[in-house]
Structure 1
Amino acid sequence: MAKRSIQVSSQALKHVRQAFARKGWTQEDLAVEVGLRTRQPVGRFLAGKPVERRIFIELCFQLDLNWEEIANPIKGEGAEQIENVRNNGWEIDTLVEQVRSLYRDKIQEQCGTLRLLDIARRVGVDNIYIDVNILEEITSQRWLEISDLVQGFNPDADEFDRFGLSRVRQARVLGLEAVESYPKLMVLGKPGSGKTTFLKYVAIQCNKGEFQGYRIPIFIRLKNFAEDASDEGSFSLVNYISQELGSCGVSEAIVETLLLQGKALILLDGLDEVQHPNSEEVLKQIRRFSQKYYKNQLIISCRIAAQFPRLPGFTEVEIADLNPEQIESFSKKWFVEVGRSSPPEGLATANRFLEKLKRPENKQIRELAVTPILLNLTCLVFAMKGEFPSKRSNLYEQGLDILLVKRDEAKGIKRNEVYRNLSLPHKIKLLTQVAAITFEQGYYFFEQNKIQQLIADYLRTLPDSQSDPETLRLDSEAVLKSIESQYGLLVERARQIYSFSHLTFQEYLTARQFVASSNPQALEHLVNHVGEKRWREVFLLATGMLRNADHLLQLMKQKIDAIAASDDKVQELLRCINKKTLSVEYIQQPAAIRAFYFSLACAFDHSLASTLSIGPVSFSFPTVPFFPLPLYLCLAQAIDGDVGMDDDFAYALDFFLNRDASGLNNTDALDRAINRVLDCAIDFALALDSDRARELRRSLQQLKAELPNPDKGLQRFKTWWQAQGQTWTELLSAAIVEHNNASYDWQFSNQQKHLLRQYYDANKLLVDCLNSDCEVTPAVRSHIEDTLLLPIAAIEKLNSL
């Protein structure tokens, strides 16, 4: 498109020169202010000679002149249309509609689709977009102490909420509502949080007339603007916008009119992607544009923690992590749109994905899926096999690769290096070292000076490193901000308080540090934490990463046995349990039976026994309040496949546990269910100890005789149960315990109870590691399983054979 020129009218030339003199600038100074490489256009302007139209307007702006008043009259269609608009204000709406129609196809082509990582084809923005939630208070700018962030945060608790690390306790508003509220908006977010998608969605909604349809959406990727302007040797955001619209037949005069009238919705994407040599000029252009064309709506996206000066007049907001409802919405759209399935098939796959994602064993994966970029990865991995990977470390490694490398590669971004000696491998090594040190010290949140010290310690180990403390301090701060803004792996949770963006990554990098360590004692050091619940995921990841996990698993087993060996009463319990197990007839899985009796003695749940038992368990027994009968029935089914659990049986069991007869409405079903539960308990007692079975049978039959006959009326039974049900259930429990050699009433001290819980959890961890698809030889696996929950004397005897 030919560039039009304007010149100062002869009548205004004296006035222009006086304005220039008042500024006290040289021609070179004015050229710099306008963004010109040379002063020649300034000289032509002051001499009354023609200069490019957009330069003419910029020069007038800098000299506080009204360009329309001092320019020679503009001839042509554009000028006539401007004059018509000036004289008839209502025609501006007609002009907007004309430009929208000319520009509609281009904005649709620019913003209608997007490319998801590792997906071969582009997908429609409307088909994948989910409503964005905005935080109006930037999390990193909150004045909080670490004690405020860790309130109610207990990683050793069973109910430990891993999402507490990233939970933001403040109100959220919808993204479009924020755009409506703030005419100049800076949208900040972590890498992959959906900033570009949000801006594209806003552009498409405007293009369709469903959001601010009275404006013209203009989407500009700032990286492209900076590169194009640098190549041309002249930065001008106005000129760039004019060229954008000019490619669709819109004249510069019309563009100028629309901008002055505030009829544009300007979407500037990726401020953080602009390279350092151009960033200052881009910021200057945005500032000038927003001040001159202040009536327009401006939205800028930028990674959080990117170090740019604040733009005057802009309100900063932050994109929040996805909540469960957004995760569900995105997943359903993903499996329909990306999975290339019919809508019913895609939704069915999405529902399977969501059901598995909600399972307790997948809470670490669920924690990752709170940003669109990592949720996309999670969906992609699931779509390949219909399952999550058995080795979660592979998924986490892919997640790190996306944040560290793939995302920038896909967008063609080459980041400025803030520290010349810190290559990507060094950054990964630095992160693993920081993760391992902070995790071992029990720090999930750490002050900025603490993490900067860890970074400085690492920088000292690099070739040609600085030794000056102040230089190291500045370098470590620059590295910290770089890792935060470029990769999003470290996040400022409040002012000068940091954590890893996901606890999962801190655990993964910690495990990686132990596995990759050149120190032969590293694994011995790791197993010192086998009794600590918060280290559970680190052990699972480490065993999965090792080429052969034999040595680590054997070290874990030795450490776990040492826990039990530290107390004589615990050893006595294990001897009694082993003796009881050896008396069981038809024994197929001794470790499972030992785990079962251990659970009875300690009033623990039956999860370890279920994990070790043969055959599936079709009914999930509640564990609180503790009731021994479910443990009997669970193991009975595992040992004897003929002991089935039909609906009546399960229903009656729930009835006994909850003591609630309100739902009973069938006397025959009730009678069958009660007989089924009691007969199963008797049969199982026979299998375990035939000598004592007669006494147990007698006790159970006596209890059964105390029940009202359901044939005489269901209401009569319900009334009796509400009055006597709790007492009857307690007598049933006591009868079973009385006739069981492995009674759980051992009267342990609080310290011994803690030791038993630690020992039980550590054994459960060991079994889970064995079953985690790690590389372990059959001999080591067999030996560990054979010696689980045995007293030290029995283990030593087996080892000597």
Structure 2
Amino acid sequence: MSNRSLSATSEGIEAAKKVLASKGWTQEYLAGEVGLSSRQSIWKFLSGRPVSRPIFKEICFKLNLDWENIAGLPDAVPLVANSQGTPHSLEVSELVSVMRSRVQNAITTQCSVLQSSFELTQPPLEKIYTKTSFYLQPNYQRWLEVSDLESSFAQFDSFRLSKPYSNTVFDRELLSKQDKLVILGKPGAGKTTFLQYLALQCNQGKYRQDLIPCFIQLRSEWMEDNEQVINLEKYLIDYGKNCGLSHQQITILLEAGKFLLLLDGLDEVPQQYREILCQNIQLFFQDFYHNSIIITSRSSAQKFHFKGFNYVEIADFDYNKIKYFAQQWFIVTSNTKAEGKKKARQFLEQLNSPENEAIRELAVTPILLNLLCSVFKERAKFPRQRAKLYEAGLDILLQRWDCSRGIKRDDFYHDLPLVDKRKLLSKIAAATFSERRYFFEGREIQEIIEDYLCNFCNFKEDIESLWLTSEAILKSIEIQHGVLVERAKDVYSFSHLTFQEYFTARHILASDSQSLENKLINLAEKITDDSWQEVILLTVNMLPKADNFLLKIKDVIDNVAEQNIKLQHCLKFLNEKVESMNLPYQKSAVRAFYFTLFNHRDFNLALSLDSQFAYQNKLSKEIKLDSSLARGFIDSLNLVKYPNIKHFLSLCLSLEIEQKFKLEPDFLEEFRNLKSQLPDLEQGKEKIISWWKTQGQEWVETFRTLLINHRKICYDWQLREQEKALWNQFYNSNVFLVKCLQGEGNISSTVKKEIESTLLLPRTII
């Protein structure tokens, strides 16, 4: 704001809106009447934000309103004489009290609503504000190698990028020790939200009630002042004048350190003005160093070093913060508190499911968590076609977040069409992901950018210019979008592994028809590699027709089974077992159930193929019998390994099946005979354990033979560790294939039925 700015009071805003309504004018029409090229100043006028005095007066003139009344200009605070009889302002504390009361409405108007680029209506900021944590050492200052980052992230169960590192502090703890801060963070990390919250807390006397809050959006003030760099001292003098304080009184407050200056969005000021602005802030600090000053900026945009300031970086949300934000968001946006709590519980349950790990990774960034909540709200579930969700998140980062706030960058990268930016990011993603590189040095990315510029953008400059341009583009990608982030000094990664996977899939699909066919074959062959499954799923989602790709995946999975003769035999016996039964279920689901039964796995595959398997107590008696016998057999195996009375009691309960099921006479006779060989509970603990140690193994083998001969279950395949891994690979790949089939890809019903009906069959039968 320049020294000529004014803000409308809430009563003034209401009066202006009534005149607009009575005249039938839109904001755009009023802007034209005032002689403005855009409605931005009109919007600011109607939202109580500062507007330059000439424009403010002209708006009021066009609306036939008294500009002084609309601005609510107060009477000046009187001067009094001090004990020596010379003019002096009121006591400092009284001046603070007067000014705090007069800025209260403006601060509330400026800061009470959460910013959003995709929702017209947002909940009150204070209702959903989530405690902010900070890294005491910004990422770009950490001298780490790629190998250091890889080893630290490898400690987690899955290699997702949104993992915290230690040495973080909460907001209040940080502010209790430091009041000269530069807060860094990627786009959408919550920098502006934190400053707005701090301004509101100060405004309400909950934080530093001895200070006067002043929230300044640096870009807006630069635009309001005819693209001139803000002079903080002049700004505050004018700020005080609007509150009825004199130049002298504001100077007294400044010298006493009574301002809380919250300077938001340093990176949003054009580069050519930014250095001058930084110098002005530094000079202001030297003159009035007692005041509290907090500056925010995107990480890579901050090159100027402010002397006397501490640099921190906003940390990603951890699970507790995600949980709190989601609970508050749904409660505030729902009709009732009970409905909001229910929706939040559903949201968190689905977010935490293993199949949504890639979606969950996005939730660590506040702006993307806000998007996830908005997407989930209507249907109480996430879209099955993930590509649409990721595209929405990228749309916010790549264009809408800056556009919604009127930020225009001025560099070579900004002028690239959006389609070229996507192609470049896809090229970077594919080149790194295909080599399993999640962290990479800046020079590696610059080489990819150079290649793209030469081959696709017809860049004709010399080698040195090419290198400098590629370096500038890398920094622009980080500053403008936050899709690439600096994890350590000159070591980068995608902000979310999810985005690296998404752009890798896009790169594959952007190939010409011949290359695409070969790339899809290569991609299908990676089905057993868990790290490629999200790329495969996204490719299925985005392919115009996914039939051939899924058939190729099925063929690759069947080839895995063909590598192991024991697995082929297992599938053969499995099919014979199922064909001998007359059950009202999908045969592939029954095969999946028994394959699970043999190998102690979950029932996810059977359940995915036939929902009836969700109700175990309602399944056919034949399946229930086999399930009970398998459970008893597992209990007996545990007894041999770890003989104890608890396992023995569990076995006895598992074998109580004669009253529950109608057993075949031959089986019943052998089963009773086998049970009779077990020691009696009355023999005591020591004798029972001793029996299992000496005779348990022989009894278990007899039990196995009984189950194989009569029920065709519990075969002993005597698998080596390598074979166990291959069987797991085979099963998990089938689970994932069904997940692909049941997504929202473009798959014909014929191919879907063909694949599902031939799951878990030996190659000789398919």
TM-score, with structure 2 as normaliser: 0.80
Instruction: Specify which of 540, 545, 559 is matched with residue 548 of structure 1.
Output: 545
Provide the rounded CA distance (Å) in 1 between the counterparts of 2:490 and 2:525: 32
Aligned mates of 2:77, 2:289 — CA distance in 1: 26
With over 3 angstroms needed to count, the CA separation of the structure-2 counterparts of 1:676 and 1:607, relative to structure 1, is farther
- Residue 272 of structure 1 and its aligned partner are, at CA, apart by 0.9
Q: Could you report, residue by residue, the CA deviation over 1:87-127 in whole angstroms, capped at 9, with x for unpaired residues?
A: 99992112211221222222222222233343322432211
* CA separation of 1:456 and 1:2: change in aligned 2, threshold 3 A: closer
Residues 702-726 of structure 1 deviation map (CA, whole Å, 9 limit, x = unaligned)? 37x75648xxxxxx99999999899
Instruction: Check conservation: 2:3, 2:237, Cα contact below 8 A.
Output: no
Give the equivalent residue in structure 2 for 1:697.
Answer: 671
**Corresponding residue of 1:627:** none
CA distance in 1, matches of 2:762, 2:132: 57
The 5 Å alignment of 1:501-512 reads 501-512=495-506
Which residue of the partner structure matches residue 257 of structure 2? 262
- Following TM superposition, by how much is the alpha carbon of 1:386 offset from its aligned partner in structure 2, in angstroms? 1.0
% identical equivalent positions: 37
| Native 8 Å contact 1:588 1:639 kept in 2 | no
Residue 574, structure 1, aligned to residue 591, structure 2: no
Distance 1:781 1:693 in 2: 40
Closer/same/farther in 2, CA of residues 655 and 212 from structure 1, 3 Å limit: farther
Aligned partner letter, 1:140: Y
Q: Which deviates more, 180-189 or 596-605?
A: 596-605
Give the Å deviation of 1:587. 6.8
Aligned to 1:275: 270
> Equivalent residue of 1:143, what SS?
coil
Superposition deviation, residue 380 in structure 1? 0.8
| Residue ranges of structure 1 left out of the alignment (5+ in a row) | 5-75, 619-633, 710-715, 796-801
1:136 to 1:591, Cα distance in 2 relative to 1, 3 A: same
2 CA distance for matches of 1:496 and 1:562? 43
1:99-110 correspondence runs (5 A): 99-110=99-110
What is the CA distance between 1:513 and its match in structure 2? 2.0
CA distance in 1, matches of 2:375, 2:693: 49
Pick from 758, 763, 772: which aligns with 2:734?
763
Structure-2 residue corresponding to 1:134:
134
1:617 aligns with 2:614: yes
Cα RMSD over matched residues? Answer: 3.9
Deviation at 1:520, TM superposition (A): 3.2
Q: How does 1:21-100 map to 2 (within 5 A)?
A: 80=80, 91-100=91-100
Alignment of 1:661-672 (within 5 A): none
| CA drift at 1:319 | 0.7
The farther-off stretch of 96-105 and 514-523 is: 514-523
Q: Aligned with 1:413: secondary structure? A: coil
Please give the secondary structure, in 1, of the residue aligned with 2:220: helix
Alignment of 1:339-738 (within 5 A): 339-419=333-413, 422-466=416-460, 468-518=462-512, 519-521=515-517, 522-586=519-583, 588-599=585-596, 602=599, 604-613=601-610, 615-618=612-615, 638-639=619-620, 674=654, 693-694=667-668, 697-698=671-672, 701-702=675-676, 706=679, 708=681, 737-738=704-705
Greater displacement, 580-589 / 769-778: 580-589
The structure-2 alpha-carbon separation of the partners of 1:448 and 1:289, relative to structure 1 and needing over 3 Å to count, comes to: same
Q: Distance in 2 between matches of 1:256 and 1:772?
A: 65
Equivalent position amino acid for 1:331 in 2: A
Alpha-carbon offset, residue 260 of structure 1:
1.2
Shift of the 141–82 alpha-carbon distance from structure 1 to 2, 3 Å rule, reads farther
Q: Is the 8 A contact 2:257 2:288 kept in 1?
A: yes
CA contact (8 A) 1:600 1:744 kept: no
- Deviation of residue 85 (structure 1)? 12
What's the offset of the Cα at 1:499?
A: 1.0
Provide, for residues 123-175 of structure 1, a one-character-per-residue CA deviation record: whole Å limited to 9, x for no partner: 322111111111111122111222222226559xxx83344x23232222111
Amino acid at match of 1:171: N
1:467–1:389 distance in 2 versus 1, CA, 3 Å? same
**Aligned mate of 1:313, from 305, 308, 325:** 308
Q: Distance in 1 between matches of 2:644 and 2:721?
A: 39
Q: Distance in 1 between matches of 2:402 and 2:124?
A: 21
Query: What are structure 2's unaligned runs of at least 5 residues?
Result: 5-75
What does residue 53 of structure 2 align with?
Answer: none
Deviates more, 1:339-348 or 1:390-399: 339-348
Q: Report SS of the residue matched to 1:322.
A: coil
Amino acid of the residue matched to residue 220 of structure 1? I
- Per the alignment, in what secondary structure is the counterpart of residue 263 of structure 2? strand
- Alpha-carbon contact 1:514-1:526 (below 8 Å) kept: no
Q: Deviations over 1:709-765 (max 9, x none)?
A: 8xxxxxx99999999899999889756533224544223444433333322222222
Change (3 A) 1:745 1:207: same
Give the secondary structure class of the aligned counterpart of 1:308: coil
Structure 2 counterpart of 1:778, from 714, 726, 749: 749
Per-residue displacement from partner, 1:314-333 (whole Å, max 9, x unpaired)? 11101111111111111111
| Bigger mean CA offset, 469-478 vs 755-764 | 755-764
- Contact 1:699/1:735 (<8 A) preserved: no
> Matches of 1:732 and 1:587 in 2, distance apart?
35
Q: Confirm or deny: 8 A CA contact 2:213 2:260 kept in the other structure.
A: yes
Over 3 Å counting, the alpha-carbon distance change for 1:612 and 1:691 in structure 2 is: farther
- Cα deviation, 1:343-397, whole Å, max 9, x if unaligned, reads 2221222122222222222222211101210111111111110111112221111
What CA deviation, in whole Å up to 9, does each residue of 1:238-269 have, x standing for no partner?
11222223222222221111111111110000
Task: State the AA in 1 paired with 2:326.
Answer: S
CA spacing shift, 1:344–1:672, aligned 2, 3 Å: farther
CA displacement 1:179-201 (0-9 Å, x = unmatched): 23223100111111111111011
Q: CA 1:641–1:574 in structure 2 vs 1: closer, same or farther (change >3 Å)?
A: closer
Of 741-750 and 271-280, more deviation after overlay is shown by 741-750
1:8 aligned residue: none
Corresponding pairs, count: 684
Change (3 A) 1:678 1:417: farther
What is the CA deviation profile of residues 403-462 of structure 1, one whole-angstrom value per residue up to 9, with x for unaligned ones?
111211221212223337622211111111211221111111112211221122212223
8 A contact 2:79–2:87 mirrored in 1: no
User: Could you give the per-residue CA deviations for residues 559-616 of structure 1, whole angstroms, max 9, x where no partner exists?
Assistant: 2222233444443443333333333343743323333444455554443334334504
Contact preservation (8 Å) 1:127, 1:333: yes
The aligned counterpart of 2:758 is: 787
Following the alignment from structure 1 to structure 2, what is the Cα–Cα distance between the partners of residues 792 and 322? 48
For residue 475 of structure 1, what is the amino acid of its counterpart? T
C-alpha contact (below 8 Å) 1:191/1:485 kept by paired residues: yes
- Give the deviation of 1:483 after TM superposition: 0.8
> Take 1:245 and 1:731, find their aligned partners in 2: how far apart are those partners?
93
Aligned twin of 2:224: 228
CA contact (8 A) 1:116 1:122 kept: yes
Q: Give the drift of 1:295.
A: 0.7
Q: Deviations over 1:457-509 (max 9, x none)?
A: 21222333135332222111111111111111111111111111111111122
Are positions 1:287 and 2:258 aligned together?
no
Please give the alpha-carbon distance, in whole angstroms, between the structure 2 residues aligned to 1:119 and 1:81. Answer: 54
**2:176 alignment partner in structure 1:** 180
